Amino acid sequence: MNLNYGPEYKNFKKEVISFCKKWEGVHFVDEAKSPLTPITKVGGKKITRTEWQSILIKEGYFARSIPKEYGGYGGESDVIKNRIIATEFSNHGVPSPMSGQGIDMLVPTLLELGTEQQKKQYIEKTLLGEIIWCQGYSEPNAGSDLASLQTKGELVDGNWVINGQKIWTSTAQYSQMMFCLVRTEPEAKKHAGISYLLIPMETPGIEIRPLVDMTLKAGFNEVFFTNVTIPEANIVGKRGEGWAVANATLTHERGSLTNPNATMNRVNSLINIMKKETINGKKLIDIPVYRDKLMTLQAKVMAFQSNSLRVLSAKLNPGQDVKMAGMIQKYYGTELRHELEGFAVDVMGEIGTLYESSPHLRDKGSWQFLYMYYLGLIIGGGTSQIQKNIIAERGLGMPREPKVQEA
Amino acid sequence: MYFGLSEDQEFFKDNVSKFLQDHAPLDVIKKIIEDDEHDLKNNIKNGLVNLGINSLLIPEEYGGLGLDLLFATAVSQSLGENIAPFSFLSSYVMAPIALINGGNTEQKEKYLKGILENNYKFGVGFSEFISARNDFGFIFKDNKINGKSIFVLDADDVSHLLLADENGVIGVVDTSDKNIEIIKLTTVDKTRSYSEVIFKNASIDVLENSITDIEPLKKSIDAGRIILAADSLGASEALIRKAVAYSKERKQFGRAIGSFQAVKHMCAEMASDLEPCYSLVWHAAHCFDNIPDESRLMACHAKSHVSEVSKVISKKATEVHGGMGFTDLMGIHYWFKRIGVNRQNLGSPETIREEAAKIQNL
């Protein structure tokens, strides 16, 4: 066990801190383009998000390992540096680089499987936030069983003609592009009939209908396609290889949704609330039942933080086996966060249920909002039940459920 | 940066496991317990001592291996995994840590060498300091001890007892002293022993540095808690492995019960709950030697969290085995009970969580 990062990282950390100090209080002029974009401080320096992205790339604080020719920094991938950047940005309240499905999923996919033309056309603009992407995977009848998707793509006169419907499409309303799974080979077997297409959202025939979720805030969409026609070249990989292309990206899926350090920050915020809020004049932090529950959760979050250090270690030390430690993160992290946010609501009692712009609202209603938001994350991206199947079957080697006989 | 057990630690841990699998499988452990087979028990004890288990934490200047607590933690995982009928915690972890930090030169020389040369073994009675129950308690005065202590760990078959009074002063009592009475207690866990000890003006050797400093005692308790957490971690790992294996073999409704999601999800939940515990326990052990500022809180959280997780695992793993899990025949209950007693030793989860809050000035 050795938790020191080494001297070169000490210097790097200093550099990052001085960068953060320089930009403390930075504030974006444009509206948040994605629900996952961090909220920024009001006041301080004014800058556009695209300018911010390009500053970060130039410093090597974003898109580190993406080649220069495609708009990245062109350095080596370095998980420790990434971690230092994330930690110091968060400590200093400096906005993180943009994230989102384009940056986190499409860019790595194009780098791995895209044509030269596609890389040149899309990567830099995506990194700078000039192209926002949405993901067209799920359909009303293809959720956990994604490969049963039915949206159809036919090749007619050198164009793909697309008909069908996608659902749970976050950010569709302000995206310029969609990466989309479409059934192009109806005769082929389930997984072999799918292609991975890139669809400009301005194309005629696309209709976006907002799908309001329980938070009344984040907002998904339904996207309908009626004879949507795009060039034949807008395909990543070959016809019928879309499932493999999509799975190549799944390994790139961001871990930030269940970031244990962010969860620990929430524990610390909760402690502050418990020192302030009172019941019958007594501070919550002094009431044993609440104290005990707080400590229970703090221990759990601490375990999750240690687990993520072990996952990080395996990235630096090839050969270290952390398969299970990685596999449980989505399930464990989303359930834990939901439990924590929900406990904070309990701590505040009736006040915890206040929402939107109600009088007496605490922390802008973030506890109630995130309590619900994380229920969405427990379900999205592979439900907890699907995660448990994966953990049991691939992690513990338990037998699969027998296939239902097709009628 | 490397987070995990080192090759040496893995190697030693595997050696302990291999020895126990060869010499102390369940039927041997059952024999030791049911027929009070002293020779069998001594074989196991001697075998483990031959591996060097008694010298891990003894500093090199006293002839020991001078290894860190993470090493002992890895060993404790193996002992828990194999429900070893062996008292590692008191003689080879808590006593050395208390002596190293609390003893004067002469005391260290005498007792640490005694442990190393396998002449001395220690029982530990810190319950009255951690959470005194009912009318138990004792007083040190003029190098004499009077009163009674409940739940002294590993008190039978040892040469000395280590006791801590309510102020955190640590004293050593020789078990050959005529003025003590050791009454063996019967817990659900028969793999280790616990006693009540009554002191009637028995002589004590007070550890000199523990008179003015509470750290020697606290460090010993921190280490003990991490080691107990590791024991439950190992026991839980064994239970999950057994449950998964059974679910693949056992058939009902024409298929392995492990193919039913009800069973599969129980196993996935157990694995998900346990996995972060490895990291937490190792991290806590690493902090014990290297990052003292974070060490006490981590030791508390490791003990209380693993206690909670392993309690649930001991229930679910028994359930996966169905009726057979409930029988003595299958012996799942040995692991269930080991976890049950570990949970209460050196502070129940609730007691420890209150300590954790106080450490943070909450």
Interface predicted TM-score of the whole assembly (ipTM), two decimals: 0.97
- For residue A33, what pLDDT is reported? 55
Long-range contacts of A354-360 (CB under 8 A, 24+ apart): A356/A216
> A83: closest CA among A38, A26, A11, A16?
A16
Compute the mean pLDDT over every residue in chain A, rounded to the nearest whole number.
Answer: 91
Q: Do residues B159 and B175 touch, judged by C-beta distance below 8 A?
A: yes
A214 touches chain B (CB under 8 A): no
Chain B residues 220-259 with a CB less than 8 Å from chain A:
240, 244, 247-248, 255-256, 258-259
Chain B residues 284-323 with a CB less than 8 Å from chain A:
286, 290-291, 298, 300-302, 304-305, 308
Q: How far is CA A131 from CA A60, A100, A123, B173, in A?
A: 21, 11, 9, 76
Cα angle value A38/A40/A46 (rounded, 5°): 130
**In this predicted model, what pLDDT tens digit does every residue of B133-171 receive, in sequence order?**
888 999 999 999 999 999 999 887 899 999 999 999 999
H/E stretch holding A161: strand A159-167
Place of tokens 């969580």: B353
Give the β-pairing of B205-206 and B170-174: antiparallel
Q: Which class in CATH covers the domain with range B122-210?
A: mainly beta
Give the separation between CA A238 and CA A195, rounded to whole angstroms: 7
Which of the residues A76, A253, A335, A406 is marked catalytic? A253
H/E stretch holding A198: strand A194-200
Q: How far is A329 from chain B (nearest CA, A)?
A: 8
Share of chain B above pLDDT 70, in %: 100
Q: Do residues B197 and B181 touch, judged by C-beta distance below 8 A?
A: yes
> B74: closest CA among B300, B233, B301?
B233
A&B contacts, CB < 8 Å: 157
Give the β-pairing of A177-183 and A133-136: parallel
Q: How confident is the model at residue A254 (pLDDT cuts 50, 70, 90)?
A: very low
Q: How far is A3 from chain B (nearest CA, A)?
A: 5
**For each of chain B's 362 residues, which pLDDT tens digit applies?**
999 999 999 999 999 999 999 999 999 999 999 988 889 999 999 999 999 999 999 999 999 999 999 999 999 999 999 999 998 999 999 999 999 999 999 999 999 999 999 999 999 999 999 999 888 999 999 999 999 999 999 887 899 999 999 999 999 999 999 999 999 999 999 999 999 999 999 999 999 999 999 999 999 999 999 999 999 999 999 999 999 999 999 999 999 999 999 999 999 999 999 999 999 999 999 999 999 999 999 999 999 999 999 999 999 999 999 999 999 999 999 999 999 999 999 999 999 999 999 999 99
A317 touches chain B (CB under 8 A): yes
**In this predicted model, what pLDDT tens digit does every residue of B212-250 receive, in sequence order?**
999 999 999 999 999 999 999 999 999 999 999 999 999
> B24: closest CA among B7, B10, B45?
B45
Bridge partner residues of A200 (DSSP)? A177
Q: How confident is the model at residue A35 (pLDDT cuts 50, 70, 90)?
A: very low
Domain ranges of chain A: 7-98, 108-243, 256-395
Domain ranges of chain B: 7-116, 122-210, 215-359
Q: What is the 3-state secondary structure (H, E, C) of A206-257?
A: EEEEEECCCCCCCCEEEEEEEEEEEECCCEECCCCCHHHHHHHHHCCCCCHH
Give the separation between CA A293 and CA B362, rounded to whole angstroms: 13
H/E stretch holding B227: helix B215-249
Q: How confident is the model at residue A244 (pLDDT cuts 50, 70, 90)?
A: very high
Q: In this model, does residue A43 exceed pLDDT 70?
A: no
User: What is the dotted CATH code of the domain comprising B7-116?
Assistant: 1.10.540.10
Q: Do residues B302 and B280 touch, judged by C-beta distance below 8 A?
A: yes
Q: Is B220 exposed, middle or buried (0-12, 13-18, 19+ CB in 10 A)?
A: buried
Give the β-pairing of A194-200 and A177-183: antiparallel
B330 touches chain A (CB under 8 A): no
Q: How many Cα atoms sit within 13 Å of A170 on the Cβ side?
A: 16
- For residue A36, what pLDDT is reported? 46
Region A289-307: what's the mean pLDDT?
98
> B102: closest CA among B203, B171, B204?
B171
User: What is the dotted CATH code of the domain comprising A256-395?
Assistant: 1.20.140.10
Helix-strand-coil split of chain B, %, nearest 5: 60, 15, 25
CA B361 to chain centre: 28
Chain B residues 253-282 with a CB less than 8 Å from chain A:
255-256, 258-261, 264-265, 267-269, 271-272, 275-280, 282
Give the β-pairing of A27-28 and A46-47: parallel
Region A355-383: what's the mean pLDDT?
94
Cα angle value B251/B257/B259 (rounded, 5°): 120
Bridge partner residues of A148 (DSSP)? none
What homologous superfamily does CATH list for B215-359?
Answer: Butyryl-CoA Dehydrogenase, subunit A, domain 3 (1.20.140.10)
Inter-chain contact A295–B353, Cβ cutoff 8 Å?
yes
> A326: closest CA among A255, A384, A246?
A255
Give the separation between CA A10 and CA B348, rounded to whole angstroms: 41
Q: How far is A133 from chain B (nearest CA, A)?
A: 33
CATH 3.30.450.20 fits A108-243, yes or no: no
Inter-chain contact A402–B258, Cβ cutoff 8 Å?
no
User: Among this protein's residues, is A253 annotated catalytic?
Assistant: yes
